[in-house]
Structure 1
Amino acid sequence: MDKDMNQPDLSMNGANSGFVASEAIDKKPAKATVLHQDVGLFSGICLIVGTMVGSGIFISPKSVLLHSGAVGPCLLIWVACGVLSMLGALCYAELGTMITKSGSEYAYLMESFGSIVGFLYSWTTVMVLKPSSFSIICLSFAEYASTPFYPGCSPPVLITKCMAAAAIFMIVAVNCLSVKLASYVQNFFTAAKLLILLIIAVAGMVLLAQGRIENFSNAFETSSVSFSSIGLAFYGGLWAYDGWGSLNFITEELKDPHRNLPLAIMIAIPLVTVFYVIVNVAYFTVMTPTEILLSPAVAVTFGNRVFYPLSWIVPLFVIFSTFGAANGSLFTAGRLAYVAGREGHMVKILSYISVRRCTPEPALIFTGILSIIYIIPADINTLINYFSFAQWLFNGLTALALIVMRFTRKELHRPFKVPVVLAVLLTLMSFFLVLAPIIDEPEIEIVYCLAFMLSGIIPYYIFVYKKITWAHNMMRPITMHLQLLLEVVPPEKTE
């Protein structure tokens, strides 16, 4: 939004931009003020796995079962969700190696459909989708972390929200301090969550080998399912797989992205898919479909039956899992806000980098503040539910962008290339997931969501298209004071 034209002040990128603040902060910074390539292959795999594996596989497999109607279709949908995630991630791998900019869908939509589509994506995602998703994960963490202190009853809402706010503050602080520190945190918690998935999977396989197969008899006997229920079952499964495109948000910080981006994707997503399917099989060895549907947290019920008296290890590792997922969520959300600010689609201060730490502090802090605001309402799950279709709308547009650029941008180098039929399938599947619930059960809230998305045209017209002077003049003193307070400067041009 705050993209200055011919005014040589602190918010311009150039030789003089930010020199006043830079000298006042640190006369000789250790490194160039750019985001450095600190993320290797292993950390990239951990980011994808750690962002994908949150609370979904531990808490809500019942959503897929409820809408699929039986054990067999349920397991098939978990496999299909993994295949769809892999399909999308491979398409994103081509885009990410062709356009090596951070920001994932934002960069690709800008390149293919122009500024207005890219702005509407950043407007919706930076302001709602990313911070509200971060809030949901932190609330899940807080609920599990506070439950042991209130045996026999649910934790008070105020306590849960305060703990979620504390988690947001802690994760923002870690990510502001160092990219490497945030990567180490991600790696540790990813290892922890894979360990508990492995424990559940092994326990389930042992029980299966002992003959616990009664819940798999007549696995495909089900009542008829509707067009909408299939879409809702996929929504439930894909919520657990959400995060497959997370590495594309930090392409500029990835070492050798042409090699490591597709390789990390091809290792991480099949790994998660295998774990998810085996863990669901493990659940069905211990619980009937009815018991799964009645369980408030499937993994905890499984742990109480199989691991007693060590059943406490399951909620402990769920806490680790949600904290790691929250860290990955903020890591990617901050990069999107940073890139949008750099392109002039958000206030310019969001594109500034810490002189001392080379992290996008303003973007991370901004996302954290929005996330704390989103935990205040009584229930933000409704917000997530009605904006989830927006995410798949953008996924479909991104897959369409890949098809379009095969014809309009033939000159671009493509180190990794997928068959165009994969992009067509992803486009069709994405639009199915958008339209199926709307056609079957239209909700007025969808209109509100679309209205918010389209309301982004107003700030786009003022700040980007017309570049109205008074709006930019209003932001100049705010940008200058925040720059001095946070000790941040515009990123240096490396070319």
Structure 2
Amino acid sequence: MGLCKRKETAEITEKKPEELDENGGIKMKKQISLFQGVAIIVGIIIGSGIFVSPVGILQNVRSVGMAFVLWIVCGIYNALGAVCYAELGTSIPQSGGEYVYIRRAFGDMASFVCLWIDFLLICPVGIAAMGLMFSVYLLKPIYSDCDVSETPTRLLAALISTLLIAVNCVNVKWATKVQVVITISKLIALAAVIIIGFYYIGKGEVENFQNSFEDSDTSAGAIALAFYSGFWAYSGWSYLNFLVDELVNPVRNLPLAIFISMTLVIIVYLLANVAYLGVLSPLQMLSSPAVAVTFADQTLGPVKWIMPILIAISVSGTMNGTALGMSRLFFIGAGNGHLPQVVSMINYKRLTPMPSLLIILILTLIFQNTGDIFYLIEMEGFGFASILVMTFASQVYLRYKEPDLERPIKVPIALPASLCFISLAIVILTFYQKPHESFLALGLVAGGTVLYCIGGKWKNKPKSIQDKIDWGTMFVQKMLLVVPPSKPEDLQFE
């Protein structure tokens, strides 16, 4: 194929034994500990949602009591989904998350659809939106009396996105340490909200909790929409499965990290919602564009400016964790021929999937310069729910296809089957609520399928075309100092 050979790179022979596989080729090291794994999951889940829009449930069910019921139900649902992912991650301990599980169950085409949705609709759009949100809240103290200007918002969003991707390119440990620091920062911010809120409750500010189920809207539509809002507030628990190859002792640490992080997030979310209602009335919450900022305005006095900054830090943690996890997904997918081959390569000095990370950055910067980023964010919901349907369906099917597969964790088959049905209902609801975004997403997936047939299935390309592809691959290899992983065929399930 004309690629730069890894054996021809002298520096590879200087690598430490743990950085080489049994054939002497390079690989990504197992260097993510249990503590760092918990920090990654918590750092991704607790992003802007609990600070900015915990009203998503309240505005649909219309009562404090029902809102808390839905927060608990949504937390349990996502925790059960995380348990299913723990089974999949320990029985198929490979980086790539749901992409790997879907490919093993349903084959090449289904896994490509999953990868394409993540590649185009979920990862770069999510990071782009979070980058813009980071900018808005970091600049809010400067533009205290007016809306934040669009130009500095986009420039700062591009800067933070580039910085976080650069950290991930240089060193995985740096990326996980950044995630730990940011996670601790956002937990401190939430602790401040909780302590202040409970202080007000201790002074007798409990009128917002009286008759808490009065005027509840318990219709199926209201509950479904409220569940939808809560479902996304907890999203992010699956990202550690993308990093299984780099997780120390994954059979033990993956389920532990998921259990610890989900328990912590559910408790923190419930306490934060109680604290908000100790200071703000339901009406104030519903009319606030950012509940934590309104909360700070009424409680922190002259230091109220600190809350927008803490929100920005929180959002950057979600951005960092998303880049860390998704880059591994694209790395694995490229190794299976679903993306350009160079995306499956590793920088031989840093042992990081640099091409994959840079692709994420390029797409992120493109989306940050579009005129209607929030329209695309709504499509992201459709994409993620669709992937969950395929993932839970693959878990059910693998029980019959590979009954003898070693499963260190084994959940009742009814659990993934039920979650598959619920996720499918969410997809149908998305079509009903957001038909334009949903059909556009379907169109993008269909377009990706055409590219897959041309790039992935067209094996015998004319020599003139193949030579150009090889030249481009070698050019990128030389620029980024990347080489193929030791055994790309190990990524296949054929």
Give TM-score scaled by structure 1 length.
0.93
Structure 2 gap ranges (5+):
21-25
How many residues get paired? Answer: 480
Q: Tell me which residue corresponds to 1:234.
A: 227
Task: Find out whether 1:492 has 2:489 as its counterpart.
Answer: no
Q: CA RMSD in A?
A: 1.8
Task: Find out whether 1:379 has 2:362 as its counterpart.
Answer: no
- Among candidates 332, 350, 353, match of residue 343 of structure 2: 350
Per-residue CA deviations over 1:127-147 (Å, capped at 9, x if unaligned) read 221111011111111111112
Q: Tell me which residue corresponds to 1:455.
A: 447
Letter in 1 for 2:285: I
For residues 468 and 130 of structure 1, the distance between their equivalents in structure 2, rounded to whole angstroms, comes to 32
Displacement after TM superposition at 1:263 (Å):
0.5
Residues 399 and 423, structure 1, Cα contact 8 Å, conserved in 2:
yes
Residues 51 and 325, structure 1, Cα contact 8 Å, conserved in 2:
yes
Residues 382 and 430, structure 2, Cα contact 8 Å, conserved in 1:
no
Residues 231 and 437, structure 1, Cα contact 8 Å, conserved in 2:
no
Determine helix, strand or coil for the equivalent of 2:236: coil
Displacement after TM superposition at 1:240 (Å):
1.8
Segment of structure 1 superposing worse, 123-132 or 181-190: 123-132
- Among candidates 70, 73, 82, match of residue 63 of structure 2: 70
Per-residue CA deviations over 1:235-274 (Å, capped at 9, x if unaligned) read 2222221101111010100000000000001100010011
Q: Tell me which residue corresponds to 2:473.
A: 479
For residues 445 and 300 of structure 1, the distance between their equivalents in structure 2, rounded to whole angstroms, comes to 30
Judging changes above 3 Å, is the alpha-carbon distance between structure 1 residues 472 and 103 closer, same or farther for their aligned structure 2 residues?
farther
For residues 361 and 436 of structure 2, the distance between their equivalents in structure 1, rounded to whole angstroms, comes to 29
Task: Find out whether 1:243 has 2:236 as its counterpart.
Answer: yes
Q: Tell me which residue corresponds to 1:408.
A: 401
Task: Find out whether 1:115 has 2:108 as its counterpart.
Answer: yes
Per-residue CA deviations over 1:292-316 (Å, capped at 9, x if unaligned) read 1111210011112122233233222
Displacement after TM superposition at 1:454 (Å):
2.2
Task: Find out whether 1:317 has 2:310 as its counterpart.
Answer: yes
Displacement after TM superposition at 1:26 (Å):
7.0
Letter in 2 for 1:457: T
Task: Find out whether 1:263 has 2:256 as its counterpart.
Answer: yes
Segment of structure 1 superposing worse, 255-264 or 299-308: 299-308
Determine helix, strand or coil for the equivalent of 2:301: coil
Residues 375 and 437, structure 2, Cα contact 8 Å, conserved in 1:
no
Displacement after TM superposition at 1:228 (Å):
3.4
Letter in 1 for 2:135: A
Residues 121 and 441, structure 2, Cα contact 8 Å, conserved in 1:
no
Task: Find out whether 1:304 has 2:294 as its counterpart.
Answer: no
Letter in 2 for 1:147: K
- The equivalences for 1:2-401 within 5 A come to 7=1, 9-10=2-3, 17-20=5-8, 22-23=9-10, 28-29=14-15, 31-32=19-20, 33-222=26-215, 224-401=217-394
For residues 425 and 335 of structure 1, the distance between their equivalents in structure 2, rounded to whole angstroms, comes to 29
Residues 165 and 358, structure 2, Cα contact 8 Å, conserved in 1:
yes
Letter in 2 for 1:388: G
Displacement after TM superposition at 1:435 (Å):
1.3
Segment of structure 1 superposing worse, 217-226 or 427-436: 217-226
Residues 66 and 216, structure 2, Cα contact 8 Å, conserved in 1:
no
Letter in 1 for 2:97: S
Same amino acid, percent of matched pairs: 35
Give TM-score scaled by structure 2 length.
0.93
For residues 379 and 113 of structure 2, the distance between their equivalents in structure 1, rounded to whole angstroms, comes to 17
Structure 1 gap ranges (5+):
1-6, 12-16
